[in-house]
Structure 1
Amino acid sequence: MNELEFVTTHRRHLHQHPELSLQEFETTDYIAAFLDNLSVEYKRPLDTGLIAYLPGNGKHTIAYRADIDALPIFEENDVPYRSLTDNVMHACGHDGHTTVLMLFVKRCKAMADQGTLPQNIVFIFQPAEETGGGANRLIRAGAFENYPIEAVFGIHVMPFEDEGHVVIRDEEITASATEYRFYLTGLSSHVADKEQGYSAGEALQHVLSQVGQIQQFHLNGLKRNIVHMGHFVAGEAINTVPSNGYLEGTIRTYDINDLESVKQQMKTIAESVKLLFNVDCEVKFEEGYPPTYNAPKLRKHVEHGLENAGFTIIDKPTPYLFGEDFSFYSQLAPSYFVFVGVRDVSKGYVTGLHTAHLNFNEHMLIKIADYYEAILKSYGEVEA
């Protein structure tokens, strides 16, 4: 089996058998069987996902990460390898990420068998990137305590960039992602006696207005932040004063101080509701992913690897506004994350991430493995 056959076979198998975050049991077993066949050491710190390891000849230990989970999306691609599970699809390219790392493991094992593997390598097949923060779960489970990792590298396919182009950026490349929810509880009454109630609807209008002003009046206008209101509702019946209200949304920032400012202002808004409307109001936050920070000290390794793999580098002036849980790996060691273009207009591979038509050419996965290998072979030599 040549490498194109390898990546096509494995990627399409994974694509046909997608599993949601923290439910990747068959996917994990599939990867484990592959590693068993190669006689590569691995461990399973969580119920899903696994960590593989190969000792090399050098003194350095570097890590590479792939995410393995899918999304609750019904696939609309008309291809022989479309998802066999209704309403579950690899709509974010994680099937490709996983296949790349499998190919890279195969290459590294061949080098290890020949005694030419230049460094120690940790291969991270991570669960629950989409929801659940699988990277943080692995770290908290102590999955990496026995590995003196010096650097972590990762990629993401990007359908808005043409094949052969790779987007890089030092420091922040993706935003933090934090969810918020307001819960309002008033007192219902019949509309004929509305003055006897405490309207959660009126209070919710106040919350909506004030949350909408946070960006305008409480954050630095020169910075890019998003305070988004995604869903809100109030009331129970057409002729009663609303006794309940609800608002949920997401916060995207690049600066942790900005995030804290938004959260504090939301807490103040919640407190004001009781004073103004006699309606109880609580705001809760679900901590998401911090900004993905690319360590500038690793840029030389990344540029060298991409150039040797034949990629064209695009230096992004501003970060993306979506979140990515690769961000947690900076707790372990300096890390660097890049976005690999997979856009192919001739085949209609132009739709975005998290869409029902996402698709890409498997030959790009071989070039990504080339990038990983170029970093590995030069890691102790390229000046950081």
Structure 2
Amino acid sequence: MELQFLTETRRHLHQHPELSMEEFNTTAFIKSRLDALHISYECPLPTGVIAKIEGSGSTAVGFRADIDALPILEENTCDYKSTVDHVMHACGHDGHTAMLLGFAGRVKQLADSGRLNTTVYFIFQPSEETMAGANQLISAYDFGPLAGIYGLHMMPDNEEGTILSKPGPLTASATEYRFFISGTSAHVANKEQGQSAGEALAFILNQLSQLQHYHLPGLRQNIVHIGKFSAGEAINTVPSTGYLEGTIRTFDMANLAVVKEQMARIRTACETLTGVSVELKFAEGYPPTINDEAAYQLMQQAAGATDLTWIEKDDPYLFGEDFAFYSGAAPTAFAFLGCRNEAKGFVTGLHTATFNFDEAILLKGIDLFEAILQQHEVQS
């Protein structure tokens, strides 16, 4: 019955995906499932849900699932394919949501039988993919003291039955940057009368390529990625406008500060050398997800009570994850649940148009959540 619940729940969500901060029907569906389980909840944001089951003791913990989808046209041929054009659950959030609902059902049974000491929060969070829904949620809702907040994420790079994490930094911070260049146009015959946005762009490109080499620690992993750039208007004029954008990935916020400071210096130097005007803007993204040492050890010990195989990663992932913001509310631990199944063809990566998985793996995720709760029950 539990697997049937998970399968039906996940496939309904997969067929009806919604983008970040547009998850109104998803929120209504989650509430209907919680109503059927007789679990109380609140909605501090327009979308998303925080459910709560009271324990008899003073300890409280939280478990999080993200609920939004991606602007991707699904290419799977399954009978539960997305019914929304160019919107797809390509990152496993439908599975995360179904898994947390299934776990809520188990915890409700514990509470109804008088065997729950720890209060449990079930965090169905909107807008993980954009707009930092986690940060918005913890700003809008007071959880009170929490012993920990835990999260799982599907990972098709690793086989079913594995769980991957590491102490300390697990995912990178993600910050976008943009240079806007304004020069002065002139005919190529009188090019000295212009201030070339092309010259300025070349200078910025060269300086950005030197950032890691000269200004950041050699033993630290950092990425200053140049994603897009352009300059100019016509074949026979001095370029009067230019543009450059990219992303910064790092696991150390001090390194991020160095990158931003050096970019500001590059902007100033470019204006001085080329005579153009340069505007630099940052779009603050997600901080790095850093596993709390005690919470990580508790999660690892809990995994030992399941049939999951724990894999400790050597290096962190270079993508961003807004679970990072929950560390401002409680000690946190995050891990990736392997869901690769070559026999069934579930082998493509996250954010691809053919990402898929077998819902049976969600039972193992619930087992881990339950084992984490039991660890807290023993300690409370």
What is the TM-score normalised by the length of structure 1? 0.97
Matches within 5 A, 1:59-70: 59-70=58-69
For 2:225 and 2:152, locate their aligned partners in 1 and report how far apart those are by CA, in whole Å. 27
Aligned to 2:148: 151
Moved segments of 4+, more than 4 Å: none
Aligned to 1:345: 342
Aligned to 1:92: 91
Aligned to 2:330: 333
Task: State the Cα deviation string for residues 24-65 of structure 1 (Å, max 9, x = none).
Answer: 111011101111222211111111111111101222100000
Aligned to 1:115: 114
Match of 1:70, as an amino acid? A
Cα pair 2:145 2:330 within 8 Å, conserved: no
Cα pair 1:309 1:368 within 8 Å, conserved: no
Find the partner of 2:277 among 275, 280, 300. 280
Task: State the Cα deviation string for residues 201-238 of structure 1 (Å, max 9, x = none).
Answer: 11101111111110111111111110000111111222
Task: State the Cα deviation string for residues 226-253 of structure 1 (Å, max 9, x = none).
Answer: 0000111111222221111111100000
Find the partner of 1:209 among 197, 201, 206. 206
1:382 deviates by 5.5
1:185 deviates by 0.5
Find the partner of 2:303 among 297, 306, 317. 306
- Alignment partner of 1:379 is 2:376: yes
What secondary structure does 1:379 align onto?
helix
For 1:194 and 1:171, locate their aligned partners in 2 and report how far apart those are by CA, in whole Å. 54
Aligned length: 380
Aligned to 2:312: 315
For 2:149 and 2:93, locate their aligned partners in 1 and report how far apart those are by CA, in whole Å. 17
For 1:29 and 1:18, locate their aligned partners in 2 and report how far apart those are by CA, in whole Å. 13
Q: Structure 2, unaligned stretches of length 5 or more?
A: none
Aligned to 2:183: 186
1:95 deviates by 0.4
Aligned to 1:6: 5
Task: State the Cα deviation string for residues 325-348 of structure 1 (Å, max 9, x = none).
Answer: 000000001000001100111111
Match of 2:241, as an amino acid? N
Cα pair 1:118 1:376 within 8 Å, conserved: no
Cα pair 2:128 2:321 within 8 Å, conserved: yes
What secondary structure does 2:206 align onto?
helix
Aligned to 1:361: 358
For 2:239 and 2:123, locate their aligned partners in 1 and report how far apart those are by CA, in whole Å. 50
Aligned to 2:73: 74
What secondary structure does 2:351 align onto?
coil
What secondary structure does 1:327 align onto?
helix
Aligned to 1:124: 123
For 2:240 and 2:87, locate their aligned partners in 1 and report how far apart those are by CA, in whole Å. 37
Match of 1:262, as an amino acid? V
Aligned to 1:30: 29
The percent identity for this pair of structures is 53
What is the TM-score normalised by the length of structure 2? 0.98
For 1:357 and 1:231, locate their aligned partners in 2 and report how far apart those are by CA, in whole Å. 27
Cα pair 2:72 2:87 within 8 Å, conserved: yes
For 1:256 and 1:278, locate their aligned partners in 2 and report how far apart those are by CA, in whole Å. 33
Q: Structure 1, unaligned stretches of length 5 or more?
A: none
1:148 deviates by 2.0
For 1:176 and 1:217, locate their aligned partners in 2 and report how far apart those are by CA, in whole Å. 21
Cα pair 2:296 2:332 within 8 Å, conserved: no
For 1:127 and 1:226, locate their aligned partners in 2 and report how far apart those are by CA, in whole Å. 28
Task: State the Cα deviation string for residues 155-191 of structure 1 (Å, max 9, x = none).
Answer: 1111111111111211111111111111100011222
What secondary structure does 1:352 align onto?
coil
Cα pair 2:163 2:309 within 8 Å, conserved: yes
For 1:248 and 1:43, locate their aligned partners in 2 and report how far apart those are by CA, in whole Å. 39
- Alignment partner of 1:163 is 2:148: no
Match of 2:180, as an amino acid? Y
For 1:300 and 1:96, locate their aligned partners in 2 and report how far apart those are by CA, in whole Å. 25
Aligned to 2:14: 15
Superposed CA RMSD: 1.2
For 2:199 and 2:143, locate their aligned partners in 1 and report how far apart those are by CA, in whole Å. 56
Change (3 A) 1:219 1:146: closer
What secondary structure does 1:308 align onto?
coil
Task: State the Cα deviation string for residues 64-102 of structure 1 (Å, max 9, x = none).
Answer: 000000111111111111111111111100000000000
For 1:100 and 1:146, locate their aligned partners in 2 and report how far apart those are by CA, in whole Å. 21
